[in-house]
């Protein structure tokens, strides 16, 4: 009990006020989430649709659920009624499906576009050119039930701090480009979601406004 509360407090002390903390609770049982909830945490990140829905159904209503994993289009319908943000949109197909399901529920779902900047071939996300193409195509402008509010990315899994920093700075300058070219008049487009347990301090130095932290709050996950 004490530990999650202390971990949260320790992380928050290191975060500037303008940075939002998403507590990544995937693979952790509900009791652990409730400890974080009781310590005041309200935003939780999950990466599996079933697990998130199960937790949503049994935990307090005022939790904001962020879907942070790779989302298959056929799973959107299960989370559309309640999800607070879908952080990892990596295709126009997925965006279309979110639009369709959000409309069915009379909702506007906030989303982030996920960039692929890291070296690993395994990471999902749009290359910068894919992202430019998605935005310049303009179909997204016709979607009244999705609100594109920023960008999300994961740095490479490496100990090389300079590489991590470079990747975050690439994301930051790309954010500025996209903001200028497509969202200049849109105050909602303001979220830069980068930084996890091992690199959130570097991320904050590189303009992050939202960090997704799991292990440093809840401890190691048991898969």
Ligand X SMILES: *Cc1c(COP(=O)(O)O)cnc(C)c1O
Residues in touch with ligand X (CB under 6 A): 24, 26, 47, 68-69, 154, 196-198, 212-216
Q: Rounded to a whole number, what is the largest CA-CA distance in the chain?
A: 50
Helix or strand run (H / E) with residue 180: helix 161-182
Closest chain position to ligand X (CB):
214
CB of 214 to ligand X, least distance (A): 3
Q: How far apart are CA 201 and CA 183, in angstroms?
A: 27
Identity of the residue, 91 or 182, whose beta carbon is nearer to ligand X in the bound complex: 91
Identity of the residue, 110 or 214, whose beta carbon is nearer to ligand X in the bound complex: 214
CB of 101 to ligand X, least distance (A): 21
CB of 103 to ligand X, least distance (A): 26
The closest alpha carbon to 25, from 9, 40, 10, 4, belongs to 4
Instruction: Check if the beta carbon of residue 171 is closer than 8 Å to that of residue 115.
Output: yes
Identity of the residue, 86 or 143, whose beta carbon is nearer to ligand X in the bound complex: 86
Identity of the residue, 28 or 174, whose beta carbon is nearer to ligand X in the bound complex: 28
CB of 215 to ligand X, least distance (A): 3
Helices 161-182 and 128-137, axial angle in degrees (round to 10): 10
């Amino acid at each position: 009990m004490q530990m999650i509360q202390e971990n949260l407090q320790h992380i928050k002390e290191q975060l500037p006020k303008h940075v939002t903390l998403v507590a990544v609770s995937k693979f952790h049982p509900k009791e652990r989430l409730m400890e974080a909830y009781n310590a005041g945490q309200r935003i939780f990140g999950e990466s599996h649709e079933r697990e998130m829905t199960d937790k949503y159904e049994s935990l307090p209503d005022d939790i904001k659920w962020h879907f942070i994993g790779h989302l298959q289009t056929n799973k959107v319908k299960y989370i559309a009624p309640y999800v607070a943000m879908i952080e990892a949109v990596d295709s126009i197909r997925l965006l279309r499906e979110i639009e369709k399901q959000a409309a069915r529920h009379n909702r506007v779902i906030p989303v982030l576009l996920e960039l692929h900047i890291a070296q690993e071939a395994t990471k999902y996300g749009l290359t910068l050119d894919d992202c430019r193409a998605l935005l310049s195509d303009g179909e997204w402008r016709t979607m009244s039930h999705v609100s594109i509010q920023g960008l999300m990315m994961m740095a490479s899994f490496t100990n090389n701090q300079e590489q991590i920093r470079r990747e975050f700075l690439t994301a930051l300058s790309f954010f500025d480009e996209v903001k200028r070219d497509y969202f200049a008049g849109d105050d909602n487009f303001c979220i830069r979601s980068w930084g996890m347990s091992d690199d959130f301090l570097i991320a904050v130095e590189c303009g992050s406004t939202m960090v997704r932290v799991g292990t440093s709050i809840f401890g190691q996950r048991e898969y």
